Structure 1
């Protein structure tokens, strides 16, 4: 259920801490741990570090994949660890909202390292890669080019702040520090998750049949309205919905663009509030909704 977000600059020990936490929760508390790796995802999508971080579209795809995996795994009786740079505060906020919607606890691990030391280790990785002759490359030791390294370290990284609710509780750790795994366990398992609100609450699950009927019913009504509009009809009646009439005021103002917008709004509303209704009642609701949205 808990989500742990690892974030930090290049070669600061993110993966080392992620593996340390995975081992701790599995061996000490017998928890199932799902470790989602940014580097593994980059390779899974057929990219490498340089091509990913220098191409905004590739990087966006990687972030989208990581986020969807985290959301898919969150909510089960397990620990989800997201191992990556996670350098954008807005992205961390989106993950916070996802865990909040799942009524899950969360914390952030910020790995800190002195820039020259990190670059020295990266140069060592470059040397090891050049000397590698057996072709067995570990994705976790793939080096950064200097351009990407400096961009992620000096330009792009948005440092987490414990005063931001989406970064808190925040655990900052340097390579020589001992990670306080017991404190991390306590904040994840001994406190209540933040209550979900309207901005993070997931809509109720709906059946495929409901969505199909909802789409067909609203499309049929909208088509009838537009056909009547072409013939300058004063109002529109629906024999299948006795007593339901699209009123003159709406017919006077409606056009295909705003009708499409209203239909989309109704679909969203119906999926959240009327997933157990039958098709006939949905049609009546849609007609009532259109009449109520008309304003002079």
Structure 2
């Protein structure tokens, strides 16, 4: 349904604002006057995932923590969920990654920028009594590296800014964004890539059966009994195709498709990796190389 990304300096009050927003959304969704789809509101945060603040003391630990958060976000994304991300989200690249994931799931998006001065953040951080504060060095480092959101870029829009002096979040604007905002369709860069099955390489190697059926056969019209359902009629050249010639074509065919498997992707669209389908593709490959003609 929607993804709401909170961003701001560490200890700027993001959790407080996220709680405010969740309360407003829950009340509206349970109000008798609400007639929209049944939705749930979920808040994901470092605390909810038991990610310690010390993770931000080390770049490697921080990358691991961000990865754990992103995986959890993807698991919770859904058409029946308003997902609130209460985390630092201080890097543009991470916010863009969240935006792309939301587009893949066809969710509405918005960003809430919680603003507080560095001095206030340092004071509020030092006053924490729950053991979840940042070290002074880490806090200063995160503030220095913070990349502000901008309403001019698509992954931060629509952007709602909430200064520390405001008593509440702009619920009317956020409600409209998550319930009526445009749902942008996935594009090539955000679509889930179709994966080849784990036995795809083994299936490719099975075209050896086809080689045995074709090699040494005199030219003319031939029916290849490859399986009970795959019996293509082909025209072979006047000369007999040698096994070495066919082996060379097989190696080329396997190499082309093996590249797709190695990259973890396959051709665009639905791909059938059954043995019959691969054998049929190899027959077409032989025809494209003018070794046989498939009789339509």
Answer whether TM exceeds 0.5 for this pair: yes
* Matched residue, 1:181: 171
Q: Secondary structure at the match of 1:184?
A: helix
Structure 2 match to 1:200? 190
Count residues in correspondence.
257
Give unmatched runs, 5+ long, in structure 2.
31-38, 212-223, 290-296
Residues 261 and 80 (structure 1), Cα distance of their counterparts in 2 relative to 1, 3 Å cut = same
Distance in 2 separating the partners of 1:49 and 1:292:
60
Q: Indicate conservation of the 8 Å contact 2:206/2:275, yes or no.
A: no
Contact 1:35 1:83 (C-alpha < 8 Å) held by counterparts? yes
- 2:259 paired with 1:262: yes
Q: Secondary structure at the match of 1:268?
A: coil
**How far, CA to CA, are the matches of 1:111 and 1:279 in structure 2?**
56
What is the match of residue 144 of structure 1?
A: 134
Matched residues in 2 for 1:82 and 1:89: separation? 15
Matching residue of 2:280: 284
Higher normalized strand content (fraction of residues)? 2
Q: After TM superposition, give the deviation of residue 284 of structure 1 in Å.
A: 3.0
| Separation of aligned partners in 2, 1:5 and 1:190 | 17
3-state DSSP of counterpart to 1:217: helix
TM-score, length-scaled by structure 2: 0.73
Aligned partners of 1:272 and 1:60: how far apart in 2? 33
**Alignment of structure 1 residues 152-163 onto 2, 5 Å:** 152-154=142-144, 156-163=145-152
Contact 2:200 2:261 in 1 (8 A): no
Larger Rg: 2
Question: In the aligned structure 2, how far is the partner of 1:107 from the partner of 1:169?
Answer: 5
Unaligned stretches of 5+ residues in structure 1: 129-137, 226-237
Shift of residue 212, structure 1, vs aligned partner: 5.0
Deviation digits for residues 24-83 of structure 1 (CA, Å, limit 9, x no counterpart): 11112234111111233244xxxx312x11222221121112112212221231110111
Structure with a larger share of its residues in helix: 1
1:1-296 correspondence runs (5 A): 1-30=1-30, 31-43=39-51, 48-50=52-54, 52-125=55-128, 128=129, 138=130, 142-154=132-144, 156-177=145-166, 178-203=168-193, 211=197, 214-221=200-207, 240=226, 251=248, 261-264=258-261, 268-269=265-266, 272-275=269-272, 278-285=274-281, 288=284
Instruction: Note closer, same or farther for the CA distance 1:287–1:35 as it changes in structure 2 (3 Å cut).
Output: farther
User: What is the CA–CA distance in structure 2 between the aligned matches of 1:157 and 1:6, rounded to whole Å?
Assistant: 13
Q: Give the Cα–Cα distance (whole angstroms) in 2 for the partners of residues 286 and 172 of structure 1.
A: 58
Distance in structure 1 (CA, Å) of the matches to 2:60 and 2:268: 31
